[in-house]
Structure formats: C-alpha cells, structure tokens
Amino acid sequence: MARKTEITISIATMFVGGMIYVLWRPDTLIMFSWFKTLGLQNSVEELRRVASPYASIFPSWVIYALPQALWFFSGLVAFHSIWATRSKKIYWIYFSGFVSIAFTTEFGQLLNVVPGHFDVSDVLWLLIAGILALIITFPTIQKGVLRNDTR
Amino acid sequence: MIHGRKSKKLVVGHLLSTCVVGILVLLAAGSAEEDPETKAKREKYGDKISAFVMAQKFVEQNLKSPGSAEYGWQTADECVTELGNGEYLVKGWVDAQNSFGAKIRNNFSLKLTYMGNDKWRCTEGPYIVGR
C-alpha cells in the first residue's frame, strides 16, 4: 500500500475514533474539560446536540469499543508508514511495543491495576484492529519493501 | 555521507513515531473519566445537554409540523438553567411551520426532571408562544 494511502487511513481512523468520543460519549471525560479550557465548549455542545439522536442507530460497541480499536489500528498503520522505508527491525520494535502496551492496559483493567472497566469486546476489537493492520501492511512487508537495518 | 543520511532518516523516523505515540497518549488521557463524583452526579441528576435534547423532543410533540423544527445555534449552556435535584428550566426558540405552512419563530419554555436511567419527565409546559 502506498505511503500516502497509509497516512490518510491512519489520520482518518484516528479522527473517526476521536469523533465518536466527542459526539456520543458522556461529557464527564477529561477531554471535555480541555474543550472548555480551549473555548470550544459551545461548538462541541452544538455538535453533540445535533449528533445525539443518531447515537441510537449504532450498536453500543460502536460507541464504547470501536474508538480504541480505531486508534490502535491508526497507530499501527502510522508506525508502518514511518518505518517502511527506514528500518524493518525498528518497525517491528514499535509494532510489538505498541501491541504489548495496548493489551497489557486492557488486561491491567481486569486485574484492577489500570483504571477503567475491563470488557472482553474491547480485547476482541483490539485483536481485529491488529489483524486488519497486519493484513493491509503485509503485502509491503512480504514484498521486502521494508528495508533491512543500517549497520 | 550515506551513513549520515541514513542515521538522519532514522532520527526523523523516531521523532515522527514519538509524535504518533504522543497523540495516542493524549487521546487515551482525554478519554479517561474525569472523576467518579462528577459521573455519579450526572447519573443521578442528568446533565444540561441531555435536558436540552429532551426539551426539544417535548417541544416538537406540541408543534404542528415537528419535522420542520430548527433550533439554530442555541446551546445547552445558553438555554438550560440547572435548578438542582435533577430539575432543569429550558428556555429557547424554535423555527417551525404553522398550520398554514409558514415558518415562524416560537419561544418555548419548560421544566424537566431527570428520573434516572435516561428517563425525563416534563413537569411544566412546554409553553410555546409565536413571536
């Protein structure tokens, strides 16, 4: 996949995930206090008011599990777009580091080590996102476009 | 020379990756709950935005042409007054078609009470007056 396409996909999925939070998640999240500080409260409120009736169209996993998965996917694709022409080894370090952090955070919630509520569907969505990211970047990896490390 | 260019590329790569990580950390931090007290208060007494959305539903039930209702750029902060104990006073305007098909601006006001579990009751009004 072309680098520009990867960057576009990465930015788009990050944006969509963010918008789900802004439009349909409760306004008790920390980001809403940031919007207030930045003077964006009225615009955000208006957006939420307009979007509010559409929340019932989506199943709850779209609002509660999908955004994280989109961000995870976005990160993986972004790392690929950055490192594809630089270093194969470093790409895999970022990839595995990011995957480890995401899953450790989820399972940390299960063990009450990390704040938040553990949900199996969150883990499943992370898995799907990770697999999808691998699928779309795999042809590039397989063709050997990823460069070997500089010594 | 080639080695220098390669290492420069790697440095840029690490900088870009740091930016990606930074953005993701920011998103993760922003998506955390503010504090349990605020959340508990919201669950017990509702919030201004939900009150404003519900007020519009109650108002539209009393319009000749609910589908034509438009509220412009009014915000919950401007229109909703929190009275305490889950009670809200909502004042605003709505542009809607009357029985002759003409779109006119109407002022509305109503009192709402949050009953819990996303349920609201209109305790006063809605009073709708054409301008």
User: How does pLDDT run across A17-58, given as a tens digit for each residue?
Assistant: 999 999 988 877 889 888 888 888 888 888 888 888 787 788
This prediction's pTM: 0.65
Q: Does A38 touch chain B (CB under 8 A)?
A: no
Closest residue by Cα to residue A125 from A78, A60, A39, A33:
A60
Of the given ranges (A92-96, A113-117, B53-57), which has the lowest mean pLDDT?
A113-117
Selected for mutation to probe chain A from B17, B48, B52, B71 (highest A CB count within 10 Å) is B17
Q: Which two tokens stand for residue A43?
A: 């615009």
- A95 touches B: beta carbon within 8 Å: no
Q: Which residues contact A115 (CB under 8 A, 6 or more apart)?
A: A109, B32, B33
Confidence band (pLDDT; 50, 70, 90) for A15?
very high
Asked whether the predicted pLDDT for residue A71 surpasses 50, the reply is yes
**B45-99 per-position pLDDT tens digit:** 888 878 888 899 899 999 989 889 888 878 787 899 999 889 999 999 999 998 8
Cβ within 8 Å of residue B34, ≥6 positions away = A28, A29, A30, A32, A33
Could you tell me if A55 lies within 8 Å of chain B, comparing CB atoms? no
Per-residue pLDDT averaged across B91-119, rounded?
90
Measure in Å the smallest separation between the Cα of A28 and chain B Cα atoms: 5
> Residue A86 in 3-state DSSP?
coil
Q: Is A30's CB within 8 Å of B30's CB?
A: yes
* A63 pLDDT tier (thresholds 50, 70, 90): confident
User: How much is the pLDDT for A151?
Assistant: 42
Distance CA B56, CA B62 (A): 10
Judge: B53–A26 Cβ closer than 8 Å, yes or no: no
Q: How do residues B6-41 score in pLDDT, each as one tens digit?
A: 788 888 989 999 999 999 988 888 888 766 676 677
Q: Among A33, A79, A98, select the one facing B34 at the smallest CB separation.
A: A33
β-bridge mates for residue B91, sequence order: B109
